[in-house]
Amino acid sequence: MPKITVDGKEFEFKQGQTIIEAARENGISIPHFCWHPKLSVSGNCRVCLVEVEKMPKLVIACSTYAADGMVVHTQSEKTLTARNAVMEFLLINHPLDCPICDEAGECKLQDYAYKHGKGESRFEEIKMRKEKRVSLGPRIIFDAERCISCSRCIRFSDEIAKQKQLTFVNRGDRVTITTFEEEGFDNPYTLNTIDICPVGALTSKDFRFKSRVWEMSSTKSVCIGCARGCNTEIWVRNNQILRLTPRRNEAVNSYWMCDHGRLDTFKFVNAEDRVDGSFIRREGKLEKADWETALKEAAKRIKEFKNSEIAVIGSAFATLEDNYLLTKIAKSIGTANIDFVRHVIPGDQDDILIKEDKTPNSLGAELAGVKPGKNGLNISGILDGIKAGKIKALLVMDDDITTFAPDTEEILTKLDLLIVLAVNFNKTAVMADILFPAASFAEKHGTFVNFSGRVQRIRPAVATTGLDRALDGMTMSRWDKFGSQFDRWMQGHKYDSKPSWKILAQLGIQLGIKIKYQMAEEVFDDLAASADAFKGLDYDVIGDLGAEIKIKVKEPTLA
């Protein structure tokens, strides 16, 4: 393979790589604003200028192809002088508003000004004034004064979102970005431009001024907006989720995620309608009860029915671990009536990320065993059975099944017993005879399987008062070290919720079933030992980027 030398370090590179790509692959960072690994090269910021021996002038590393024997200097006096000059030029008209800019702490311009700038400017004239707080579509605010004209947002819209909605107008120091007259900046992926904007020119209307980045914790997770399962970071402050951002995974979503996934898939976690405790219906009203009382009452009532009179409904919003425990409960009480609701919007998908299956774990639910057993009833059959008086008791986990059909709500009134595990109060939850508060995806460990058969992990980003210290993977020595911090996180958090698998495990114990799981990881290990699709997998193998299941993927039935 050809070789290149950068700052005295010789290494091989792939034919066709540019200097910046070859250097980056070998741990050498060259400053850049306009270059992005997933976008075309524009070469207009010039901050990546480097010195190449035997070349008369400095070259930009983003568009200059590496050549065999090439010797590059990124820290020579000539390079540093040019880089400082570029930084001075970029900052001539940039407003000094870092203290109020949402990008502070994540800003490339801020970082590079510190590392590569002179710390002073020779420019004494009044800065060019441009428009501020421009509404650039329904989700983004544009501050033209901060823009350094890197064109990343324009190229993203053209090349990734595949909708030409942004363009440069004017020339010289008056250049700015706008939408075409007949277009609005409203494609389903607009908020990705905020991530790739190297300055604070583009900010989210939803997140704007809510928090500094250093005041939030970030937790690796997975988007629950559709079957794609985009890898995400959950950003939390004061135990409340403030934003979701994409996490790079080339096997799933690369650097991107859709706007729906960012904005509409987490706000229920902080909502006022959270189920805030266990409830038992007495004299027609749901009344609060402690965990032990509610669990004993649920087990007692379940035992009053014949096996064939009981049905259970899992959820494609719940984890593999939750659904696997549900199947164990169903088998133990002897019912084959088990299924889950498919949430599909036909045609609502594209060839970028969005899938028409609007749940994160449809395939996982089926692989965990949530499907009718021999002679068992599916979701339609269960509702017909309730209507006919053959199904008298129903256990529903983590879903609002009234969305299945227009008459489902009326059908549920015919039940003698409805037990519900729910995150928020919904039409199914308010009809429950016994209601348990389930933890959301952001409050528990677990795994999802996306449409292509990739198992991916979620982790707790938000604390709940129902979290069991010893049973959530935190050893006592680790608790001694971090417990006081965790207690501070939990102050004021009113949701006494637990992961659904843990609620089901405790219910199973009340039913006389031997269940010894203490952590979600143990549930997954048991599933992996019993299901061929997950053979050889564990949380360590899955890691941060996921792992493919061991059998050929057959997408779940979505009808």
Q: What's the rounded Cα separation, in Å, for the pair 539 and 206?
A: 34
Q: Which of 81, 98, 84, 91 is nearest to 148 (CA)?
A: 91
Q: Check if the beta carbon of residue 382 is closer than 8 Å to that of residue 301.
A: no
Encoding tokens for residue 444? 């528990």
Q: Check if the beta carbon of residue 399 is closer than 8 Å to that of residue 424.
A: no
Band the pLDDT of 180: cuts 50, 70, 90: confident
- The pTM score is 0.90
Q: Which helix (H) or strand (E) holds 61?
A: none
The crossing angle, in degrees rounded to 10, of helices 500-510 and 320-333 is 20
* Residue 67 or 119, more confident: 67
Name the one residue in this structure whose structure tokens are 């909708």.
163
How far is residue 335 from each of residues 215, 261, 310, 312, measured CA to CA in Å? 49, 36, 6, 8
Band the pLDDT of 182: cuts 50, 70, 90: low
Q: Check if the beta carbon of residue 184 is closer than 8 Å to that of residue 165.
A: yes
Q: Which of 140, 255, 270, 273 is nearest to 207 (CA)?
A: 140
Q: Residue 347 has what DSSP assignment?
A: T
What are the extents of the domains in the chain? 3-91, 98-270, 278-459+495-548
* Residue 500 or 183, more confident: 500
Q: Which helix (H) or strand (E) holds 50?
A: strand 49-52
Encoding tokens for residue 77? 């006096």
Band the pLDDT of 484: cuts 50, 70, 90: very low
Percent of the chain with pLDDT over 90: 80
Residue 491 has pLDDT above 50, yes or no: no
The crossing angle, in degrees rounded to 10, of helices 500-510 and 291-302 is 60
Q: What is the pLDDT of residue 124?
A: 79
* Close Cβ partners of 219 (under 8 Å, ≥ 6 residues apart): 233, 234, 236, 442, 459, 460, 461
* Close Cβ partners of 450 (under 8 Å, ≥ 6 residues apart): 227, 228, 229, 252, 360, 363, 456, 546
Q: What's the rounded Cα separation, in Å, for the pair 232 and 248?
A: 8
3-91 maps to CATH 1.10.3720.10: no
Q: What's the rounded Cα separation, in Å, for the pair 354 and 491?
A: 37
Please say whether the dihedral angle defined by the alpha carbons of residues 302, 391, 414 and 438, taken in this order, is positive or negative: positive
Residue 110 has pLDDT above 60, yes or no: yes
Taking the CB of residue 119, how many other CB atoms lie within 10 A of it? 9
Q: What is the mean pLDDT of the chain?
A: 91
Instruction: Give the tens place of pLDDT for each residue, 439-462.
Output: 999 999 999 999 999 999 999 999
Amino acid letter, 390: K
Q: What is the pLDDT of residue 219?
A: 96
Encoding tokens for residue 539? 């949380």
Instruction: Give the tens place of pLDDT for each residue, 226-250.
Output: 999 999 999 999 999 999 999 999 9
Residue 147 has pLDDT above 60, yes or no: yes
Q: What's the rounded Cα separation, in Å, for the pair 365 and 386?
A: 23
Farthest-apart Cα atoms in the chain, separation = 90
Q: What is the pLDDT of residue 380?
A: 95
Q: Check if the beta carbon of residue 520 is closer than 8 Å to that of residue 444.
A: yes
Q: What is the pLDDT of residue 557?
A: 58
Q: Residue 166 has what DSSP assignment?
A: E
Q: Check if the beta carbon of residue 90 is closer than 8 Å to that of residue 145.
A: no
* Close Cβ partners of 393 (under 8 Å, ≥ 6 residues apart): 301, 302, 304, 305, 309, 310, 311, 415, 416, 417, 418, 419
Q: What's the rounded Cα separation, in Å, for the pair 91 and 76?
A: 23
CATH of domain 278-459+495-548: 3.40.50.740
Q: Which of 526, 516, 365 is nearest to 451 (CA)?
A: 365
Q: What's the rounded Cα separation, in Å, for the pair 167 and 12?
A: 38
Least confident among 7-11, 456-460, 494-498, 513-517: 494-498
* Close Cβ partners of 507 (under 8 Å, ≥ 6 residues apart): 295, 298, 299, 329
Instruction: Give the tens place of pLDDT for each residue, 23-40.
Output: 999 999 999 999 999 999
Band the pLDDT of 468: cuts 50, 70, 90: very low
